[in-house]
Amino acid sequence: MDKKNIDWSNIGFGYIKTDKRYVSNYSNGKWDDGQIIDDDMITMSECACVLQYAQTIFEGLKAYTTKDGHIVVFRPDLNAERLANSAKRMEMPVFPVEKFIDSIEQVVRANEAYVPPYGTGASLYLRPYMFGINPVIGVKPADEFQYRVFTTPVGPYFKGGAKPLTIKISDFDRAAPKGTGYIKAGLNYAMSLHAIVTAHNEGFDENMYLDAATRTKVEETGGANFLFVTKDNKIVTPKSDSILPSITRRSLMTVAKDYLGLEVEEREVYLDEVKDFAECGLCGTAAVISPVGKINNHGEEICFPSGMDEMGPVTKKLYDTLTGIQMGRIEAPEGWIKTID
């Protein structure tokens, strides 16, 4: 298979239109068979529920070329499960796990020429999403839905790749205690747009959101979970019902424990104790694990000993092991890697 003529090693995290996408429609209480199509445009009613009341959810995962030339995806079953949880919370129909996996396989195969070659540092980002498409004017859920998956080749989410980030404590909240922070709904990202523009305008790379109820505990950023390393090399990650259960973070905890022999702890993390950690990273599909060098709390700086030049040593080990598993250099735990033949 000839690859597209793209400068793979120098792409960032942006949208590059690829040739094919997957679509399936839901009406009269059931999903159709689904198919691969060429058209990237969507036509819908001006009164579609997604346009008026933001009834939309999504997922994000990546396809990689491994060292020995296979194309693989990382733990798609967990994305299927999380999309189902998002659907239930948003009064949308569940897209069955088997259909989800099949849609991923079909869309990756159809866009094989866009899967970046091994060793370029790039991957093919897959974006499954679902939205309410029929007209709705009184506030209620749609009863017709569309599920789609598009793909786009991507490089690092943060400019500068592995260079430590500077983030700020946000004055805005991302998720309410009994709200939708634990699912991947478009509305969570809509309400973070003003906060991210504010952070960028002030010269920061990202926001650290605190818990909305007490503003004393660390939640997450707009698109990644936090992972901290203590001075005695323990891995600590915030536990909260209002953050997204990151598949990358859950995988990194297993990597830390089973591959690196480190102690791991998922617990409430208070802002007050952040200054005592040795390293800090943002983890997610897009972010992989991006190091944080500095956190600005209303002018007061928390500087991690790992500094602003490179990833801390434990973050680096976690990064190398996880990406080694994803790219086929290190043996994966059972069921983590799905090969697309």
Residues 265-284 that bind ligand COI (CB under 6 A): 284
Look-up of token digits 């030339």? 69
Task: Give the shortest CB-150-to-ligand COI separation in angstroms.
Answer: 13
Residue 60 or 121 with smaller CB distance to ligand COI: 60
Residue 186 or 307 with smaller CB distance to ligand COI: 186
223 binds ligand PLP (CB under 6 A): yes
**Structure-block tokens of residue 28:** 């009269």
246 binds ligand PLP (CB under 6 A): yes
Q: Of 113-121, 137-145, 240-248, 325-333, which part binds ligand PLP (CB under 6 A)?
A: 240-248
186 binds ligand PLP (CB under 6 A): no
240 — phi, psi (to 5°)? Answer: -160, 145
Distance of CA 307 to the CA centre of its chain: 25
CA nearest to 322, candidates 264, 237, 247, 245: 247
Look-up of token digits 């839901």? 26
* Cβ–Cβ under 8 Å, residues 152 and 215: no
Q: Choose among ligand COI, ligand PLP, none what residue 220 binds, the Cβ cut-off being 5 to 8 Å by kind.
A: ligand PLP
Look-up of token digits 């093919």? 124
60 binds ligand COI (CB under 6 A): yes
What does the alpha-carbon distance between residue 4 and residue 265 come to, in Å, rounded to a whole number? 43
**Structure-block tokens of residue 257:** 């424990």
285 binds ligand PLP (CB under 6 A): yes
Look-up of token digits 């001006």? 46
Residues 55-84 that bind ligand PLP (CB under 6 A): 60
Q: Choose among ligand PLP, ligand COI, none what residue 73 binds, the Cβ cut-off being 5 to 8 Å by kind.
A: none
Single out the residue of 175, 235, 286, 314 in contact with ligand COI (rule: CB under 6 A): 286
Residue 26 or 150 with smaller CB distance to ligand PLP: 150
What residues contact 134, with CB distance under 8 A and at least 6 apart?
45, 48, 49, 142, 143, 144
* Cβ–Cβ under 8 Å, residues 78 and 160: no
Task: Give the shortest CB-61-to-ligand PLP separation in angstroms.
Answer: 7
- Torsion 244-246-249-255 (CA) sign: positive
Q: Tell how many helices (H) and how many strands (E) occur in the chain.
A: 7, 17
Residue 22 or 125 with smaller CB distance to ligand COI: 125
Q: Choose among ligand PLP, ligand COI, none what residue 247 binds, the Cβ cut-off being 5 to 8 Å by kind.
A: ligand PLP
Single out the residue of 106, 285, 290, 296 in contact with ligand COI (rule: CB under 6 A): 285
Ranked by CB distance to ligand COI, the top (closest) residue is 60
What residues contact 133, with CB distance under 8 A and at least 6 apart?
25, 44, 45, 48, 49, 50, 142, 144, 145, 146
156 binds ligand COI (CB under 6 A): no
Residue 93 or 223 with smaller CB distance to ligand PLP: 223
- Quote the Cα angle for 97-248-220, to 5°: 110
* Cβ–Cβ under 8 Å, residues 332 and 66: no
Residue 34 or 338 with smaller CB distance to ligand PLP: 338
- 53 membership: H or E segment, kind and range: helix 49-53
* Cβ–Cβ under 8 Å, residues 230 and 256: no
Q: Choose among ligand COI, ligand PLP, none what residue 244 binds, the Cβ cut-off being 5 to 8 Å by kind.
A: ligand PLP
Residues 189-248 that bind ligand COI (CB under 6 A): 223
Residues near ligand PLP (CB under 6 A): 60, 220, 223-225, 244, 246-249, 284-285
Residues near ligand COI (CB under 6 A): 60, 223, 284-286
